[in-house]
Structure formats: structure tokens, C-alpha cells
Amino acid sequence: MLSNESCEKDYLDRIPEGWEELWEQEMKKEYFIEMIKWLKKEYIDPDRLHQEIYPPQDKVFRLFYLCKPQDIKAVIIGQDPYHEKDQADGIAFSFNGKGKVPPSLKNIFKELGYPKEYAHATDLTNWVEKGVFLMNSILTVKEGKALSHQNKGWETFTNSVIKYVSSKRMALTFLLWGKYSHEKAKNIDEGRAHFLYYTSHPSPLSARKWSGGYRPFLGSKCFDVLKMNTGIDLKTFDEI
């Protein structure tokens, strides 16, 4: 039987069910081999004392275990994971920590019109289960340092994910929030009848501003667009 330590060490080598074609394609590429090798060292680096890597290893690819390509109806692309303790859970914008709700997520709830009593219902796993693929552009981060795992290979990987999903499916809705997300649009197969809806990012610095000529996030009615195109109503408040 494998020890817990062994399980942790091989987690990054596993292939999520349903994603075998994409993984087998990427695993052979030098960038992916080097990225996983580097990431494994990051998680066990003794010089990284008191500075964790988020999310935990067993949640890095959690999104892919929760949602197979054929189950995706819409895609929302974030930047990188929350970088404070016990916050990142492998789903973009989802928050399972204690304490204050991240400000971007607060604005997402504001745009949804969530009543105050739902302000702590921050786990977005149920969104993914409904077919909303919430993926960050970069899947890991060093504690306290946003974008600290930028240019390590994740951007190439998530570009490949978007290309793969958009080439395999028809008429997906892409909610593109902010510059980082807008730049991913070039990977979407334009010949597959996908719908792209651009807004600024939901962070407090951007939520009320235009971004690259696109409407502010707050007031954008992007979730109404999502419902109209996919039938997914995120304004239906689930049980707390």
C-alpha cells in the first residue's frame, strides 16, 4: 500500500479521467515535463520554510477531476490562485478558507445579486458541477505572492486546455473577465460557434472600469448572458 507521502508525491503525475487525450498530448512536451519537475521541488523545498505553495498538491488539478470535457457548458478564466493560507481549492475564484471573503468574489456575488445571508457560501464546487469550468491561467502560487508562478509553464498548459475544449465542443459560452482572460481568447476555436463575452475583472480595482474597451464587470449582466446561452442559473441560491 502506498503511504500518504507517496500518494502526495505522485499526485501531479496522475491523469484525470476524461482528460486522457489532452494529458497524453501535453505530458510528452518539454515544457510540461520541466514544469512538473520544478513544481514537485517547490512543494518540498526546505528553503521555502514558512512560505507554502497553494493550492495543496492534491487540489492542483481538482477542477479537471470534477468536470470532464463533455460536461462543460461555459468557461470562466481567472488569473492565479488565492495566495493566502487555506484559501485556494483548485477552482478559480472559489474560496474555502476562514475569515474575509476575497474582494473579487464579493463583487461576483454582488453582480449575482446574492442576499447578505449567502455571503459566506463561497465554495463554487456546485458551479463546476453545473458545467461552469472555472480555470485559472496559472494553477499554483507561492504564499503571499500573486503571480509568483508566472512563466513556469502553466500559461502554455492552460492555453492548450482552452484550445482542446473549444475544438472538441460546440457553442460554449466564455465569460472573459479582465486583461489576463481577454488574452486567452486567441486560443478559442472561432469556427465552433462559441460565444465570447468580455468584461473587466471583478477585482475592486477593475470591477467598475472599462478594460480594453470592454464593459465594467459590475452591471455587465454576464450571469444573465450565461443563463440565456446555457440554461445555467447561478442566481438560484443553493442550500447553505
pLDDT score recorded for residue 50: 63
Count H helices and E strands in the chain, helices first.
9, 6
Task: Evaluate the CA torsion angle 151, 156, 162, 165 in order and state its sign.
Answer: negative
pLDDT score recorded for residue 119: 66
Whether 71 is a known active-site residue: answer: no
Cα-based distances in Å from 81 to 76, 137, 159, 231: 14, 9, 17, 28
DSSP state of 178: S
What is the chain's pLDDT, residue by residue, as a tens digit (240 residues)?
Answer: 333 344 455 789 999 999 999 999 999 999 999 999 999 999 988 776 668 999 999 999 999 999 999 999 999 999 999 998 889 999 999 998 777 889 999 999 999 998 876 666 799 999 999 999 999 999 999 999 999 999 999 999 999 999 999 999 999 999 999 998 999 999 999 899 999 999 999 999 999 999 989 999 999 999 999 999 999 999 876 654
DSSP state of 68: -
Alpha helices in the chain (DSSP H): 4-10, 20-27, 30-44, 62-66, 103-112, 125-129, 154-168, 179-182, 222-230
Cα-based distances in Å from 131 to 21, 28, 75, 97, 127: 20, 29, 8, 23, 7
Which helix (H) or strand (E) segment holds residue 141: the answer is: strand 141-142
pLDDT score recorded for residue 237: 64
pLDDT score recorded for residue 48: 66
User: Of 45, 80, 86, 189, which is the active-site residue?
Assistant: 80
One-letter identity of residue 7: C
pLDDT score recorded for residue 120: 66
pLDDT score recorded for residue 100: 84
> What pTM was estimated for this model as a whole?
0.92
pLDDT score recorded for residue 49: 61
* 220 touches 209 (CB < 8 A): no
